[in-house]
Structure 1
């Protein structure tokens, strides 16, 4: 059930089943000269490359690509530029251009406006936006069907809850978080429409204390499974759950991780882990593939690549799931792939 790296890479190849659409261009690829000395850089969100989630996955993918090609961290190989606030985004993209990087990544939906601003006046520079879409010929866009993985997370939560109360904690509202929330709620209610889904937003992807406070309130209200989609703020959800279980080992509460396997964040000791499962997103693999293709003279500028369960671009870890939960998840996974289970992309009004 776990996302397989090689399949995610294949999903980005030209012959894969991933959805490919051209954005503002007649061609969905640009042929460039082979470049054995390609340099690449990631402009980070505020959370940085150690957020234990989305940006960290992107950085791990770029680092692995660099190591595979014998490159060193720095301007002559691969690197990242840290953003300390959203006001840094445009300046950091310009810094990447002025530093001479061949391929410039923005990893996160919050980069769409700043990348549009910079890419539109720098047509010779090549950009990749991960998790959103910019309609320019010098921007390759990669997105994921997060709602599909979130639906399976909802099935997992519904199969696990003993209180019939589960929670969702998002970072900041937006189209990506809409997909997560909608999919999760739909998955829960597909199994049992009577389960209550409590939804809260931290309004930050960075402040772990806010995630912890929201989790504290939910667990106090008998919620026993929380799916966090809050980046670094979600680390506070793990902290709260571990504190509860450490104080009262008889209490059973769970966290569902996001974007990469977050089992390590849920470990209490060798015998107990409160990470029920984690949704997976092939962010690092997408970064690697884009770099590999650019090194081989292929740049996907003007193209939108969308990856879902059918492409192994998203998935779910086995984690601490029961055998019954695994079977139910597999049942719905098949239905989503064959189209018999439609997964919403926007939340219902009563779940907002």
Structure 2
């Protein structure tokens, strides 16, 4: 018992001495928050200099995409997700859900069971959001690449469409202005409103530059059949004498680029700057013929949306799909060394002017979303060689 009391007494004395020492000013002006500098003098910590907590810390994002590795649309979405992690502090995850809409319900409820704060979904999930999103009020659902006509009443769902028709208009001008034969091509993935929006804008821009331009167009039926893309592009080149071909078919675009390289004509990419992409992946020979790309900056759209949310903007009050286009910096035309090398300066000047006119509303470009199928067919027929 004595030993315990003695130890207790000694401990009390030591602690008291420690408290006195800690509270004592040693003549240097240092206090408890002081940190010795390398020179030995004390540096007082400034609480205001400590890094502030990022908005995304403690919050989770799920991104549902088709599949990675397409070097365009899906890979760009993923890059935007990583940017949200790096710049805003979110904990991020992704899921490759494919294109079979019949499987989406299972994915949807899996995401809900996990309780993610924000979920980015393909447009094929829209009907599920309409039915069930309101049952998960603590979650926010962001549906990308919808049509501009889509709506959802749930106050935790945000829809956005990409105004691809605007950038495709500029691409059409570039193709028509660069073509020597007066015939240009278009190879799409699936024939649907999203891809038709590119086609409609492309034709309008081409006709604006050259009213007599001819455009041959065809669809693969998917986004991964490289052999079919090669076959279609080769046919457009050899049968119709197309000397510029616009590839809007995801990973299958490789086939279009190969056909253009084999036949020494120009190619135009989509979504990402394919000239840069193919150079980075060691396919410099295919990149040689890619004169520009129709940019669909899905990476920017993801980061922009999460930035708006972090800044307190309540985007979920919009029930109709919000179109993001040239004005928002989400679409555009790739300006790289090949663009400046092969697209004549006069053409580039007119494209730059058209871009400004589209933004300020002087030039009105039609979107496929507001056209009937018969109107789209008539437009395509008007330029078919």
Identify the residue that residue 300 of structure 1 maps to in structure 2. 315
Counterpart of 2:365 in structure 1 is 343
Equivalence for 1:147:
165
How far off is 1:180 after superposition? 1.0
Taking the aligned partners of 1:270 and 1:238, their CA distance within structure 2 comes to: 10
Q: Give the secondary structure class of the aligned counterpart of 2:307.
A: helix
Name the SS for the 1:167 alignment partner: strand
Rounded to whole Å, the distance in 1 between the matches of 2:104 and 2:214 is 39
Give SS of 2:274's match. Answer: coil
Contact 2:276–2:287 under 8 Å retained in 1: no
Shift of 1:35: 5.4
1:42 lines up with 2:56 in the alignment: no
Please say if residues 263 and 277 of structure 1, whose CA atoms lie closer than 8 Å, have aligned partners that are also in contact: yes
Contact 1:266 1:273 in 2 (8 A): no
Secondary structure of 1:258 counterpart: strand
Deviations 1:60-89 (CA, angstroms, capped at 9, x unpaired) = 010122123456xxxxx2111111441332
C-alpha distance 270-209 of structure 1, shift in aligned 2 (>3 A): closer
1:49 deviation in Å?
Answer: 2.3
2 CA distance for matches of 1:241 and 1:148? Answer: 25
Q: 1:317 to 1:342 in 2, by over 3 A?
A: same
Rounded Cα–Cα distance in structure 1 between residues aligned with 2:204 and 2:94? 37
In the alignment, the residues of structure 2 paired with residue 208 and residue 255 of structure 1 have an alpha-carbon distance, to the nearest angstrom, of: 15
1:62 aligns with 2:53: no
1:315 and 2:344 aligned: no
Q: Is the partner of 1:80 in helix, strand or coil?
A: strand
State which drifts further: 213-222 or 182-191. Answer: 213-222
The Cα shift of 1:284 comes to: 1.1
1:196 corresponds to 2:210:
no
Secondary structure at the aligned position of 1:328 is classed as helix
Aligned partner (choices 277, 280, 291) of residue 276 of structure 1: 291
Distance verdict in 2 for CA 1:203–1:113, change over 3 Å: farther
Cα distance in 1 between the residues matched to 2:198 and 2:107: 28
Aligned to 2:40: none
**How far is the alpha carbon of 1:343 from its aligned partner?**
0.9
> Secondary structure of the residue that 2:105 maps to in structure 1?
helix
CA apart distance, 1:165: 0.9
CA contact under 8 A between 1:93 and 1:118: conserved in structure 2?
Answer: no
Instruction: Name the CA distance, whole Å, in 2 between partners of 1:225 and 1:271.
Output: 14
Pair 296,189 (structure 1): closer, same or farther in 2 beyond 3 Å: closer
* TM-aligned CA deviation for residue 309 of structure 1: 1.9
Deviation digits for residues 117-168 of structure 1, max 9, x if unmatched? 4425444421001111441322111222211100000000001111111011
CA shift for structure 1 position 298:
4.9
In structure 1, how many angstroms separate the alpha carbons of the residues matched to 2:126 and 2:238? Answer: 38
Checking the alignment, whether the CA contact within 8 Å between 1:205 and 1:231 is kept in structure 2 is yes
Report deviation, 1:241. Answer: 2.2
Match of 1:49, SS? coil
In the alignment, the residues of structure 1 paired with residue 119 and residue 62 of structure 2 have an alpha-carbon distance, to the nearest angstrom, of 5
Q: Secondary structure, in 3 states, of the residue corresponding to 1:301?
A: helix
CA distance in 1, matches of 2:291, 2:270: 11
Asked whether 1:327 is paired with 2:342, we answer no
Deviates more, 1:206-215 or 1:117-126: 117-126
Q: Does the Cα contact within 8 Å between 2:278 and 2:286 map onto a contact in 1?
A: no
Looking at secondary structure, tell me which structure has more helix per residue.
2
Asked whether 1:261 is paired with 2:273, we answer: yes
**Residues 282 and 93 from structure 1, CA distance in 2 versus in 1: closer, same or farther, beyond 3 angstroms?**
same
Give how far 1:333 is off: 1.6
Per the alignment, residue 72 of structure 2 pairs with: 53
Contact 1:208–1:234 (CA under 8 A) maintained in structure 2: yes
How many residues in Structure 1 have an aligned counterpart in Structure 2?
Answer: 304
Pairwise CA RMSD? 2.4
Q: Secondary structure, in 3 states, of the residue corresponding to 1:140?
A: strand
Q: Does 1:131 align with 2:145?
A: yes
Query: In the superposition, relative to structure 1, how do residues 84 and 337 fare at CA in structure 2: closer, same or farther (>3 Å)?
Result: closer
| Greater RCO, 1 or 2 (C-alpha within 8 Å, sep 6+) | 1
